[in-house]
Amino acid sequence: MKLVTAVIKPFKLDDVRNALSEIGIQGVTVTEVKGFGRQKGHTELYRGAEYIIDFLPKVKLEIATESNMVDRVIEAITKSASTGKIGDGKIFVSSLEQVVRIRTGETGADAL
């Protein structure tokens, strides 16, 4: 089992969710986060004063999936979240040792 973590632009969330639903992904955890990478933030003017916005709003998605679905999940996220511009985000894949469904006690792939 794998945990796919993606950090994307907030306005792409619905597109990514739809793409994941189309390939059969049933559960996604979404967190609003802030960060920066190569995009490095930007400056804004407010009441005549210039402010540097270091951390930009992003959305973090966490998807627990079976190992054989990882490539399809990555492809769905990449296609639906891409704008072709800097700041589109990143995808991280890590191993999951164990998953337990609290309600039923199911473990492993059955708990997904």
Rounded to an integer, what distance in angstroms lies between the CA atom of residue 98 and that of residue 38? 34
The CATH number of 2-111 is 3.30.70.120
What's the pTM value of the predicted model, to 2 decimals?
A: 0.85
Q: Are 101 and 27 in contact (CB under 8 A)?
A: no
Burial tier of 76 (Cβ tally within 10 Å: 0-12, 13-18, 19+): buried
pLDDT at 89: 93
What's the residue count for the chain? Answer: 112
Q: Are 64 and 5 in contact (CB under 8 A)?
A: no
User: Over the stretch 37-96, which tens digit does the pLDDT of each residue have?
Assistant: 776 666 667 777 777 777 889 999 999 999 999 999 999 999 999 999 888 999 999 999
